[in-house]
Each structure stands twice: as C-alpha cells, then as structure tokens.
C-alpha cells in the first residue's frame, strides 16, 4: 500500500513538471503577440511570395520601358580595320595610255616628275604595272595595304505598326503581373487566416483536454483515497491510473499539434522558426459576429475573383497579339544616317603625317513591304483565333466551377452555424453531466464507468464544438477567397 502511494505521489510530481513544460510556451520578452490582423499585416510585408510578386511588377515595368526605347533613335559607334593580304586586280583591255598625251604634255609631265620625284609606293606601283604589262597579263593591282574606318550610325523608325501594337501589349503584361500579385495576396490572406483559426482550435482543444486531464487526475486521487480506505478494489484504482496516463498522452499530442500549427504560421509570416509567437483569442470570440459577417458577404457577384480577372486579361492579350499579327502585314518605314572617317594607306605612310583621313556620310530612307512568306502569317492568324475560342470555353468552365464552389461554401457555412448552436448546448449539458457524475461517484451512487463515460462525453462535446466553429470560419475564409476579398486594415 505504501509503495503504491509513494509511486502515485512521484507520478503527481512528474506530471506537474510535465504540465509546466507542455503548457503553452512561457512568454519571454521576445515573444511576438499576434492578433489576426497583425499576423496578416506581417505576412503581406515579409512573406517571400509577396516580395517576388512585387519584384515581378517592377520587372514588367522595366520591360515596358525597354519596348518604349524602340521608338527612339538607335545610335552606335563603329570602327573597323582591314588588311589587304592580296590586292584586287583591274584590267584595262584595249586602253592605250600613250595616245592620251601630246609631246608637249609628255615633256611637262616628265619635268614635273623630275621636280617632284614619286614616293616609293608610287614607284612600286609603277613597277608592278610595267611588270604586269610586260608579262602579258594586262592587269593592275588596286587598293592599299591598310584601310581604317571609324563612324557614327543612327536609325529611327518612322512608321512601325507592329512596334506600336507591341507597346499596348506591354501595358497588358503589367496589368497581368499586378493581378497576379493581388492573387498572391488573396491566397496568402486565406492561408494565414485559416492557419490562425487552426491554432485557435488547437489551443481551445488543448484547454479542453487539459481540463479533462485535471479532472482525471482529481478522480484518481479520490479513488486512491478510497482504495486506501478499502472501499474500492485495486482493479478500479489501476483503471483510474491507466486513464490518467491516457489523458496525459492526449495532452502531449494536443500540445504538439499547437506547436506544429505555429510553425506553419511562422513560415507564412516569413519570420524565423525559432522566434516565439503567442496567438491571441479563442474561437468562441467569433460567435458574436458570425451572423453579421455572413450578412455582409455579397455572393451575387464574382467580378473580383482573381482567376476570372486573369482570364479576362489573357483574352485581351490574345486580342492584342492578333492586332500585332495584322500590323506585321503592313509596310514599315525607317530612316538612317551614317557618318564615317576613312583612311587607306600603304605600310610606308601608315600612322605618319602623310596619312590622309577623309569623311563620308549618307542619309537613307528604307521602305519595307511584306509580300509573301509562304503562308506563315496566314496560319499564324488562324492559330490566334483558335486560342481565343479555347480561352472563352475555358473561362466559361472556370466560371461554372467557381459558382459551384461558392454555393458549396455557403452551404457549409449554413451547416456550421446550425452545428455551432447544437454543439454549444451539448458542451453545457456534458459539463453539467460531468459535475453531477463526479459528485455521485464521491458519495458512492455512481460507478467509475459512469464517471469515465461522462468524462469522455465532455471531451467529445468540447472538441466537436471547437471543430464546428473552425469549420464555419474556414468555409467563410474560402468563400472570401473565391469572391476576391482583400485584406482591409
């Protein structure tokens, strides 16, 4: 007998220590206290998904400006160098140079050459000409060893229908990225809300199981006293002890469920998993506003549904693609200007004061008229029309699916409201029955089986009540997501 009492007292001490460790984490100075609105605000500012969506909007903005740059002149600097490995030949068939000069002109030319002797490169060219003439080839090498070119080029589109139509497509891409970001926020709002409700349900369920554990522990004390007095059998005491262990195991599982739900919420909020958070409130806090919240939901319109909006934007994009395709069939007109400095010199005067540089420039206008491309553009237009038809069918199917989900959510909300009222009465009755059975057992009117059944009924009633409130809140959150409701501070 003393051994059993000693073991029970040791167990009581261990259980008390376990309750201290397993109870919701003690609030430290760095614990983040969260209400639903604060949790959503943190998630919308810190969640990586939202940050990526915002960066995508910025990227599309840059892409739009990139396309706008196509309307401005395209200016570039260029520089080239060419080395003549083998010079080109020129033939002067039937051309006699001697007939071009009179004796007086020939004499004057000779005197000019004497006074201004030719450079080595000219002499080399003359010798090459004479050698070619004597060999019977009759050709002359033309060109110089080195050619240098440096220039400025500029082009500007004047009439570019395809480019103009593409600019409108950039605006639609920006609209799509903004709607995609809004969809991410709505989805995150739904996830955070449901996870928050889930934590409240786990915490409330923990409270129910904890109270059940405390009742079971108190009953075990009563049975132990009766066992020591010899009024109950050892079998009944063993059953009470087993029930205490079972209740303790349920308490550990409930605490584990709370911690796992908090980890999921931390991930959605984008905060470190090692930071402690405290979720405020109870599920019963939402009872007073349930009917008012339902009445505020407008289920007659789905114009804010993000999926439908994205389909509408995709349709506009396809229609704009069709305009771009048609614009590609129209003529284009562009202008260009080219200004260059050139120099052609042989090796003996390259990079010397005798090297001559001269400018060249040109201004041009180009008109391009597409005529035939093997039917590629014709079939491209056919594809776009088919895509538009497919998109219309897909949107209609999506709309019907969303309508079905909305009606299903409304039905779930109605059922949950009825269950909440019923289960709330069930909790009151179960608690009352538990108190009565405890008193009856103390005075010996009821059996331990009656007490266990009352305890089990109380736990089931409490858990079912919490589940029904969560089902209502979850269905309401899903309905708000379908209707495209955004978070309002």
120 vs 409, more confident = 409
What does the DSSP 8-state code read for residue 281?
Answer: -
Task: Summarize the confidence of residues 9-14 as an average pLDDT.
Answer: 43
- DSSP label of 117: P
Label residue 434 exposed, middle or buried (CB < 10 Å: 0-12, 13-18, 19+).
buried
Lowest-pLDDT choice from 58-67, 107-116, 237-246, 316-325: 107-116
Ramachandran angles phi, psi of 342, nearest 5°? -125, 155
Q: Please tell me the distance from the alpha carbon of residue 474 to that of residue 463, in angstroms, as a whole number.
A: 16
User: Are 332 and 308 in contact, with CB atoms under 8 Å apart?
Assistant: no
Name the residue with tokens 């405020």. Answer: 280
Tell me the average pLDDT across 94-110. 56
The answer, yes or no, to whether residue 92 has pLDDT greater than 70, is no
Task: Read off the pLDDT band of 367 (50, 70, 90).
Answer: very high
Q: 136 or 208: which carries more pLDDT confidence?
A: 208
| 332-345, strands of its sheet edge to edge | 74-83, 146-159, 332-345, 358-368
**Residue 163: closest CA among 59, 56, 74, 57:** 74
46-84 tens-digit pLDDT: 999 999 999 999 999 998 888 888 888 999 999 999 998
Which residues have a Cβ under 8 Å from the Cβ of 404 and sit 6 or more positions away? none
pLDDT at 350 over 80: yes
Lowest mean pLDDT among 131-145, 183-197, 295-309, 369-383: 131-145
How far lies 71's CA from each of 65, 161, 308, 336, in Å? 10, 11, 34, 14
Q: Is 149 exposed, middle or buried (0-12, 13-18, 19+ CB in 10 A)?
A: middle
* Strand-pair partners of 289: none
What is the tens place of the pLDDT at every residue in 14-27?
444 444 444 444 44
CB 138 within 8 A of CB 92: yes
- Residues 344 and 147 sit within 8 Å (Cβ to Cβ): yes
Rounded-to-10 torsion of CA 43, 49, 53, 54: 50
**pLDDT tens-digit map of 369-389:** 988 888 888 888 899 999 999
Task: Count Cβ neighbours within 10 Å for each residue of 228-246 and write b for 16 or more, e otherwise.
Answer: eeeebeeebbebbbebbee
Which residues in 292-314 are b (16+ Cβ under 10 Å) and which e?
eebeebeeeebeebbbbbbbebb
- Sequence spans of domains, the chain: 2-72+161-321+375-482, 73-86+149-159+331-369, 88-142
What pLDDT does 16 receive? 46
Each residue's pLDDT tens digit, 391-434 = 999 999 999 999 999 989 888 998 988 899 899 899 899 989 98
Q: What is the pLDDT of residue 19?
A: 44
Indicate if the pLDDT at residue 321 is higher than 80: yes
pLDDT value at position 443? 78
With bands split at pLDDT 50, 70 and 90, how would you rate the model's confidence at 110? low
Residue 291: band (very low, low, confident or very high) from pLDDT cuts 50, 70, 90: confident
pLDDT beyond 70 at 225: yes
- Where does residue 452 fall: left (phi above 0), alpha (psi -120 to 50 degrees), or beta otherwise? alpha
| Number of residues that make up the chain | 489
**More confidently predicted of 311 and 88:** 311
Quickly state the pLDDT bin for 127 (edges 50, 70, 90).
low
What is the C-alpha separation between 69 and 160, in angstroms, rounded?
13
pLDDT score of 70: 86
DSSP string computed for 405-466: HHHHHHHHHHHHHHHHHHHHHHHHHHHHHHHHHHHHHHTTSS-HHHHHHHHHHHHHHHHHHH
Q: What is the pLDDT of residue 22?
A: 43
pLDDT at position 190 over 70? yes
Please answer whether residues 410 and 479 qualify as being in contact, where contact means their C-beta atoms are separated by less than 8 angstroms: yes
433's CB contacts (< 8 A; 6+ apart) are: 454, 457, 458
Percent of the chain with pLDDT over 70: 84
Confirm or reject CATH 1.20.1600.10 for domain 2-72+161-321+375-482, answering yes or no: yes
| pLDDT higher than threshold 80 for residue 339 | yes
SS3 content of the chain, % helix, strand, coil (to 5): 70, 15, 20
Instruction: With cut-offs at 50, 70 and 90, classify the pLDDT of residue 87.
Output: confident
In the predicted model, is pLDDT for residue 103 greater than 80? no
Mean pLDDT, rounded, of the chain? 83
Indicate the range of 41-55, 225-239, 314-328 predicted with least confidence. Answer: 225-239
CA-CA-CA-CA dihedral for 322, 325, 329, 332, to nearest 10: 120
Q: What is the pLDDT of residue 176?
A: 92
Q: The tokens of 22 are what?
A: 């397993």
User: Of 347 and 292, which is predicted with more confidence?
Assistant: 347
Return the C-alpha torsion angle 245, 247, 252, 258, nearest 10.
Answer: 180
Top-confidence range, 92-106, 120-134, 275-289: 275-289
Mean pLDDT across the stretch 26-46? 80
| pLDDT category of residue 93 using cuts at 50, 70 and 90 | low
- The DSSP secondary-structure symbol of 90 reads E
């Amino acid at each position: 007998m003393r051994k059993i009492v000693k073991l029970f007292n040791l167990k009581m001490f261990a259980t008390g220590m376990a309750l201290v460790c397993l109870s919701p984490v003690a609030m430290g100075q760095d614990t983040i206290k969260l209400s639903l609105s604060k949790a959503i605000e943190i998630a919308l500012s810190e969640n990586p998904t939202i940050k990526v969506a915002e960066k995508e909007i910025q990227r599309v903005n840059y892409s739009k400006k990139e396309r706008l740059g196509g309307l401005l002149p395209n200016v570039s600097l260029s520089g080239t160098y060419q080395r003549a490995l083998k010079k080109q030949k020129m033939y002067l068939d039937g051309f006699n140079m001697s007939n071009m000069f009179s004796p007086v002109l020939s004499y004057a030319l000779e005197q000019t050459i004497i006074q201004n002797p030719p450079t080595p490169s000219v002499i080399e060219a003359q010798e090459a000409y004479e050698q070619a003439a004597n060999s019977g080839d009759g050709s002359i090498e033309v060109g110089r060893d080195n050619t240098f070119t440096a220039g400025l080029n500029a082009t500007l589109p004047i009439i570019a229908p395809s480019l103009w139509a593409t600019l409108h497509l950039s605006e639609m891409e920006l609209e799509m990225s903004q709607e995609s970001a809004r969809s991410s926020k709505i989805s995150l709002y739904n996830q955070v809300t449901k996870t928050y409700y889930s934590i409240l349900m786990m915490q409330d369920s923990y409270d129910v199981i904890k109270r059940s554990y405390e009742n079971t522990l108190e009953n075990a004390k009563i049975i132990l006293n009766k066992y020591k007095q010899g009024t109950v059998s050892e079998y009944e005491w063993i059953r009470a002890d087993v029930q205490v262990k079972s209740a303790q195991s349920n308490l550990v599982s409930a605490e584990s469920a709370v911690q796992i739900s908090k980890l999921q919420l931390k991930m959605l909020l984008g905060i470190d998993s090692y930071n402690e958070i405290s979720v405020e409130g109870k599920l019963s806090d939402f009872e007073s506003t349930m009917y008012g919240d339902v009445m505020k939901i407008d289920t007659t319109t789905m114009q804010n549904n993000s999926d439908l909006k994205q389909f509408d934007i995709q349709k506009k994009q396809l229609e704009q693609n069709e305009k771009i395709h048609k614009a590609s069939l129209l003529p284009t007109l562009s202008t260009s200007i080219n200004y260059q400095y050139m120099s052609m010199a042989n090796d003996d005067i390259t990079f010397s004061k005798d090297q001559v540089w001269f400018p060249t420039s040109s201004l041009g206008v180009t008109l391009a008229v597409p005529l035939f491309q093997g039917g590629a553009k014709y079939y491209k237009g056919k594809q776009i029309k088919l895509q538009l038809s497919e998109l219309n069918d897909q949107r209609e199917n999506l709309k019907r699916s969303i309508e079905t989900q909305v009606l299903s959510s409304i039905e779930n909300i109605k059922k949950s409201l009825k269950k909440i009222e019923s289960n709330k009465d069930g909790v009151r009755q179960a608690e009352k029955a538990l108190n009565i059975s405890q008193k009856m057992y103390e005075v010996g009117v009821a059996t331990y089986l009656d007490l266990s059944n009352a305890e089990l009924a109380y736990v089931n009633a409490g858990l079912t009540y919490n589940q029904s409130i969560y089902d209502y809140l979850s269905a309401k959150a899903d309905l708000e997501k379908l209707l495209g409701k955004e978070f309002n501070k």
